[in-house]
Amino acid sequence: MKIVQGFVSTFMVIVPAAMLLSGCAVPVLGALTLNHIMTVASTATMATSGKGVGDLALDAVTGRDCRVLESTFRTDRELCEDTGSPATKRDFKGLYSVAEFMERRSITDNTRPPSSEIDFATGQ
């Protein structure tokens, strides 16, 4: 009888834990599972900062700049690099990098005359 009770209690702990960790069956918030929530969070952080939730967790643990995708596709990039190292300069920074690019572009474009003053014959 003790063996059966031990098996049942172990089964009652392992199965819900496995389902919760996989995120495939246990609703966390309404009909959303943990997997849905993690996908949305990772997509949002990837779009804004260029890092997924896993990258941010590695950053917190190691204290370095960690990027799984960058290290997968680039030979000059390790998984975790020192912040500000030459290898991190080419990292995708998400929408922040697009905003920085547009800001730099507008600064350089301010040296040119407004479009109404451009001579279309010469392009100047």
Instruction: Report the C-alpha gap between 70 and 58 in whole angstroms.
Output: 14
Q: What's the pLDDT tens digit per position in 25-36? A: 556 666 677 777
Task: Say if pTM beats, i.e. exceeds, 0.75.
Answer: no
**CA of residue 34 relative to chain centroid, distance:** 17
Q: What's the pLDDT tens digit per position in 35-94? A: 778 888 888 888 888 888 889 999 999 999 999 988 999 999 999 999 889 988 888 888
Q: Specify whether the CB–CB gap between 97 and 50 falls below 8 A.
A: yes
